[in-house]
Structure 1
Amino acid sequence: MVDDRPIQASATTDATDAITPAAQSAARAPVVSSKADRAAQFIAEHGEVTFTYEEERKVLRRIDLRILPLILGAYFFQQLDKSSLSYVSIFGIMEDAHLKSIEYSWLGSVLYLAQLIFQPLAAFLLVKLPTGKVVGTAVVCWGACAAIMAACTNFGSLLAMRFLLGSFEAMIAPSCLAVTQMWWRRSEQTLRASYWNAMNGVTFIVGSLVTYGLGHVVSTKIYRYQSIFIFCGVLTVLFGISFLVFMPDSPMEAKYLSERERSIAVERLRANQMGVASRQWKWDHVIETFTDLKTLLWFILIVAISIASGGISTFGNLILKDFGFTNFDAILFSMPTGAIQVAIIIGSAWVATRISRKGVVITGISCLPTIGSILMLTVPRNGKNKGVLLLGYYLVQCLGAITPMVYAWSAQNTGGDTKKKTSSAMMFMGMCTGNVIGPLLYNTKDAPLYRPGLIANLVMFVTVGVLGLLIPMYLMLLNRRHTKRREELGKQSNIIDESMVRRKDMQGSKTLEIEQNEQVIRNIEEDNGLNDLPDLKNEDFIYVY
C-alpha cells in the first residue's frame, strides 16, 4: 500500500517544508551564491516544497507527454536526414552524381567530421543559451540543408551540403542528452534516453518504406535520389518550427506547467546532485572533464562502437544487396533492422534499470554483434546461405543498443552544468570520430565480402565487451573515495542515493524511511545538489555502475 503522506524532495529538504513556499521564503530568505545553478535560485525565490507521490507522478506524466515527443521527433528527423544517403545509395546516386567509390565513402564520413568539429561550439551554446530555442533553430537549418541537397548533382556540392548538414546536426544528440538530464531523475534517465535513441530503429523502418515508395516513382525531370532528399528535408523544417513553438527552455521556464508544478519539477531533481541549468560557462569544469579517467574510458568505448556503427550504417544496404538480393528486396530486408534496434535498445535499457548495472548489460549486448560478425565473415556468399547471412546481419544491428547505454551511463555519472555539456560533447566527439573512420574501412572494391570492414568491426565489439566490465570497477573506487571524503568532513559516510530509488518504493520502505531520518538535513544553501559542482569535487555524488 502506497503511503500518500508528503515526501521530501531530497535528503536536503528542511523541516520548514510544512510551511507554504511564500512563508518559507520570507522566514528564511535563503542566500544563494551567484555561481549556483539557476534551479537553486528558483527554489530560493519560490520556496522549498513538499509533495505527494501522486503529485510527482502527475508532473512526471505531463513532462513525458510534452518534452519526450519533441526530443523523439528531433532525434528521428536527424537520423532520417543523416541516413538518407544510405537509402539513395542503391537508387543510382553514384551514377547520377558521377561519384567514385571513395567519394561515396567520404560523403558518409564528412557529416561526422563536421559534427566532430562543431561539438565544442554546441557544448558552449547549450550552456549559455536557452536550450529549446537553440535546438529548434538547428532542426530548421539542417532540414533546409537536407532539402537543398536535392539540387546537388556532383561530388563537390554534395560534400559541401553534407558538411553543413553535419554542422547543424552537431547540436541534436548532446541537446537530447542535456534535456534528459534537465527534466528527469537519474533513475528515469536510462529509459528516456533509450526512447529517443530508439528512433534510430524507427528511422530504418520509416526511411525504408519512404524510399521503397519514392523509388518506384520515375520522373524525367528529377532523379529518384533528389525526390527522397526533398521529402525528408521539408518534413524536418516543418517539425523544427513546431519544436520552436512548444519546447520550454528548462523546468523553471515551462509555462505550460503551473507554478507549483514547476516547483515540483525542480525540487524532484535536487537529489540528482547534477544541477539543472546554470547558463554560466566554467573553465574548471572543462579542465576536470579532460582529466577525468572515467570520461576518457567512455570516450574510448564510444569510439570503438561508432567505428562499427559508421561502416554498417553507410554500407548496410550495399552489404544486403551483395547477399544476392535485388535493390528493392534489399530495402525490404533492411526494415526488420529497425524493429530489432527498437526492441534491443528499449529492452536493454529496461534490464539495466531493473538490475542497476549498465556495464554488465553492455558486455552482454556486445556478444550478439560479435557472433553476427563471425557469421558474416565465415559463411560463404551463395543463394543457399541468404538466411544465415541475414541472421548475422541482424545480430550485428544489435550494436545500436550500446551507444545510448553509454550516453546514459556517462550522463548519470557527471555533475556540474558545464561539465555535463563538455562531457556530452566529448562523448559525441568520440561518436563522430568513430563514424568518420567506420565508412573508410569499407570499400565497394571489397564487395561482396567486405572483409577488412567486418574484421575491424569484430575487434571493436570485443573491445566494447572488455570495457563494459572494467569501467564499473573504477566507479566503485570513486565511490569509496567520496565515502572517505564525507567521513573527513564529519558527514554521514553511508548516504542514500534517492535519485536512483523509485519514489513509490521509498514510501513503502520502512527501512529506507528510518535511514533517511538519520541523515543530516540540509537546507538549500548547504545542498551540493544545486551548487553546480563537478562530480569529482562533490563528495555527496554517488556513481552508478
Structure 2
Amino acid sequence: MSTSPRPPSITSKVEDERYENKGEASSGVISPPLHRPVKNGDAALAILGEGAARREITEEENAAVLRKIDRWVLSVMLMVYFLQQLDKSSLSYTSVFGIVSETGLVGTQYSWLSSIVYVAQLIWQPCSSYFLVKLPLSKYLFFHVFMWGVCVAASAAATNFKGLITARFFLGLFEATVGKCGITLALQQWWRRREQTTRLALWFAMNGCTGMVGSLLTYGLGHIQGKLHPYQVIFLFIGSLTIVCSPIVYFVLPDSPSKARFFSHEEKIVALERLRANNMGTEAKVWKWDQVREVLLDIKTYLWFSLLFLCAVPSGGIGAFGPLIIQGFGFNQFDTILFNIPFAAFQVVLTVLAAIISTKIKLKWPVIFFASLPPIAGSAALYTLGRGPALRHELLGCYYVLSFFTALQPMLYTWSSQNTAGHTKKTCTTGIVFVAQCAGNACILGPLVYKTQDKPYYKPGLVCDLICWILLTVLTLVTAAYLAFLNKRHANQRVALGKAGKVIDTSLETIGEGKRREAAESADDGETAENLQSFDDLSDLVNEDFIYVL
C-alpha cells in the first residue's frame, strides 16, 4: 500500500494515519481520508461500522431519538445535580439554625467546612479524570453518589469541628467525580452542540430548584423539636434522600449512546449520526498522552481556567454565606430562609433565559459579557449602602440583582466543552476547569474572603467579587477574539488540503435547518462540511474540520 505525501498544515503525527489511499499511484493530489476507524478511534465506530459512511437522518428520526435521550439521560442528570447541590448546600442551611454555636465553631472554621469540600475535590480530580476514561460512566457515578449520601448523613453524628471537617472532606472526595466533570462528559456524548447549552442550563437550574426546595425543607425541618439538634435533622434527612435515590443512576443511566439499552440498533445509528457535526466524538477507552500534552500547550486551557476561576470566587462566597448575608439585613432565621427562595427562583429563570438567548444567536460571549454587568452593580451597591432595618428591603433588592451571576457558570462550562474535542483532551480539560472552580469559587478562596467576623457588611468579600466580575468581562472579549483566530487558522488548513475554507457549523442548527441550508447552499454562506473525521477521536486543534463556537 502506498501513501500520499504528507499534506501541509498538519501539526500532529496522529494525522499520518488519515491519508492512506487504496493503492493508487501518488499524483500529488491529496486523497480524502478513508471512511474507516483509525487506530484508537471512537466507540461509535463499533455501531456505525468500518465504513462509517455518513447516514442522512430525518427530522422525525432525530426528534424521536432526542425525546428518548432527554427522558432517560437528562432526567437522571438533573436528579444527580439536584441531590449534589442539596447535599452541598446543607451546610449553609444549618448555619441559620445554630450549627456554629452548637458545635463550637470559631474563627474561620465555618468557612473551612465549606472550603474543605473543594480541597478534597482537587486532590481526587486527576485520578477521577483518568477513571472516567477507563471505567463505565454510570457504574462509576452510582458508587460516588451513594457514598456522598452516606457522608452527608454521617455529618449528623458530628458534634465538633473535627468530626464535621472529616465528613465534609469525604463528601468532596466523592462529589469530585459526579459534579461538572462527569456530567459534562455525558453532555458531550449525547447532545448536539446546539442542544448542549439548554441541557446544561437546565442542569445548573437545578441549583436554583435546590435553593427553593432546600429552603422549604429546612424551614420545616427547623421546626422539629426532639433530641437531635436542627442541624443534625437537616443532615440526616438530606443524606438519606440521596442514598435512596442513588440506585436510579446505576439502573437507568447508560454509559454511552452505543450502549443504551433503550435504543434499537437503528436508533443507535441515528443517535450517533446526530453527533457527527459536533466533531467531538462520543467515547474512547484509550488514554492518549499526546492529547494530554496538547491540553498543557493549548492557550484555551488557561483561558477556560481563568474564566471559571473568576466566576467561581464570588459564587463560592455567596453560596456559603448567602443566608448569613440576608440575616445581616435584619431578618430572623425563618424569614432569612424564606427570603432565600426568590434568589433561587431568579437563578432558574436567568440560567434558562441565558441558554435560550445563546442558542438563538449561536454565540456565547455576548451573553457572558452582559450577564456580568448586573452583579457588578449589585455588589457595588451592597458595599456602599449601610445596614439596618430601614434599608433591609433595598439591600434585599441589591442582593437579588447578584443572582445574574448564576447564569455565568453554565455558559462558561458549555463554552469550554463545545470548543474541545478528543476524548482524553475533553476529560482533562473538564478536570482542569473543575479545578478552577474548586480553587477559585467553590470554596477554597471564595468562602474564605467572607468571614463571620465581617458581618453584617462583609466588605472584603464584596470587593473581591467586584474585582472578579470586572476581570471576567475583559477576559471574555479576549477569549472570543482568540477563538475567531483559531477558526481562521482552521479555514486556511482546509484550503491547503483541498477542502472548502468557509463551512457552515450545522451542529449549532436543528436537523431541519441544516437540511434547508444544505439545499439552498450558496458560495456566500459557505459549504456544508462532510465531517468525515468526527469519530476518529481527534483533538480540536488536530481536526481541521472542527469549528470553534464564539
Please give the TM-score of this superposition, normalised by the length of structure 2.
0.90
Aligned amino acid, residue 541 of structure 2: L
C-alpha distance in structure 2 between counterparts of 1:267 and 1:135, whole Å: 26
Greater alpha carbon shift after TM alignment, 410-419 vs 117-126: 117-126
- Verify: 1:291 aligned to 2:297, yes or no: yes
Written as runs of structure 1 = structure 2, the 5 A alignment for 1:11-160 is 31-44=36-49, 48=53, 49-160=55-166
What is the letter of the counterpart of residue 253 of structure 1? K
Measure, in 2, the Cα distance between the counterparts of 1:85 and 1:520.
Answer: 50
* Alignment pair present for 1:495 and 2:500: no
Q: 2:514 aligns with which of 498, 506, 516?
A: 506
Match of 2:189, as an amino acid? Answer: M
Aligned equivalent of 2:535: 530
Q: For the residues of structure 2 that align with 1:394 and 1:260, how far apart are their CA atoms?
A: 48
1:184 pairs, out of 191, 210, 213, with: 191
Quick check: 1:507–1:513 contact (8 Å CA) kept in 2?
no
Q: Check the 8 A contact 2:505/2:528 in 1, yes or no.
A: no
SS of the residue 1:37 aligns to: coil
Q: What corresponds to 1:404 in structure 2? A: 410
What CA distance in whole angstroms lies between the structure 1 residues aligned with 2:322 and 2:402? 10
Cα distance between partner residues in 2 of 1:313 and 1:352? 25
Other structure's SS at 1:337 match: helix
Q: CA RMSD, aligned part only?
A: 1.7
Report how far residue 257 of structure 1 moved. 1.1
Q: Give 3-state SS (helix, strand or coil) of 2:49's partner.
A: helix
* Preserved CA contact (<8 Å) 1:483 1:494: yes
Say if 1:190 and 1:405, in contact at 8 Å, map to a contact too.
Answer: yes
Which of 187, 198, 221 is the aligned partner of 2:205?
A: 198
Deviations 1:419-438 (A, max 9, x none): 00110001100000012101
SS of residue paired to 1:529: coil
Matching residue's letter, 2:218: T
Residue 253 in 1 paired to residue 280 in 2?
no
Aligned mates of 2:273, 2:521 — CA distance in 1:
19
Report the 3-state secondary structure (helix = DSSP H, G, I; strand = E; otherwise coil) of the residue aligned with 2:41: coil
Question: Is 531-540 or 482-491 further displaced after alignment?
Answer: 482-491
For the residue of structure 2 that corresponds to 1:395, the secondary structure is helix
Q: Report the CA distance between 1:317 and its aligned residue.
A: 0.7
Q: Retained in 2: the 8 A contact 1:30–1:44?
A: no
More displaced stretch, 511-520 vs 414-423: 511-520
Residues 376 and 246 from structure 1, CA distance in 2 versus in 1: closer, same or farther, beyond 3 angstroms?
same
Could you say which residue in structure 1 is the equivalent of 2:469?
Answer: 461
Structure 2, unmatched stretches of 5+, are 1-33
Say whether residues 1:318 and 2:315 are aligned partners.
no
Deviation at 1:46, TM superposition (A): 9.2
Q: What residue number does 2:360 align with? A: 354
Shift of residue 195, structure 1, vs aligned partner: 0.6
Distance 1:517 1:57 in 2: 26
Q: What is the CA–CA distance in structure 1 between the aligned matches of 2:156 and 2:397, rounded to whole Å?
A: 35
Contact 1:506 1:512 in 2 (8 A): no
Q: Residue in 2 aligned with 1:372?
A: 378
Q: 1:383 to 1:456 in 2, by over 3 A?
A: same
Q: Distance in 2 between matches of 1:277 and 1:444?
A: 46
Which is further off, 496-505 or 353-362?
A: 496-505
Contact 2:321–2:447 (CA under 8 A) maintained in structure 1 = yes
Change (3 A) 1:446 1:195: same
Shift of 1:486: 1.1
Are the aligned partners of 1:368 and 1:396 in contact in 2 as well (CA < 8 Å)?
yes
Aligned to 2:455: 447
> Secondary structure of 1:281's partner?
coil
- Residues 185 and 269, structure 1, Cα contact 8 Å, conserved in 2: yes
Count of residue pairs brought into register by the alignment: 512
1:192 partner letter: R
Aligned residue type for 1:194: A
> Matches of 1:64 and 1:213 in 2, distance apart?
33
Q: Measure, in 2, the Cα distance between the counterparts of 1:122 and 1:321.
A: 38
Q: Please list, as runs of the form range in 1=range in 2, the aligned pairs for 1:334-349 lying within 5 A after superposition.
A: 334-349=340-355
CA contact (8 A) 2:503 2:527 kept: no
Query: 2: CA distance between counterparts of 1:207 and 1:331?
Result: 9
Give the Cα separation in 2 of the matches to 1:461 and 1:512. Answer: 43
User: Cα distance, 1:161 vs. partner?
Assistant: 0.8
Gap change, CA 1:131 and 1:341, over 3 Å in 2 = same
Kept in 2, the 8 Å contact 1:46–1:263? The answer is no
CA–CA separation in structure 1 for the residues paired with 2:51 and 2:201: 33
Q: Which moved more, 1:372-381 or 1:407-416?
A: 372-381
| Alignment partners' CA distance in 2, 1:45 and 1:257 | 21
Between the aligned partners of 1:520 and 1:323, the Cα distance in structure 2 is 57
Name the structure 2 match of 1:24: none
Are residue 276 (structure 1) and residue 277 (structure 2) matched? Answer: no
Q: Closer, same or farther in 2 for the Cα pair 1:521/1:182, shift >3 Å?
A: closer
Counterpart secondary structure, 1:415: coil
d(CA) in 1 for partners of 2:73 and 2:335? Answer: 37
> Which ranges in structure 1 are unaligned for 5 or more consecutive residues?
1-28
TM normalised by structure 1 equals 0.91
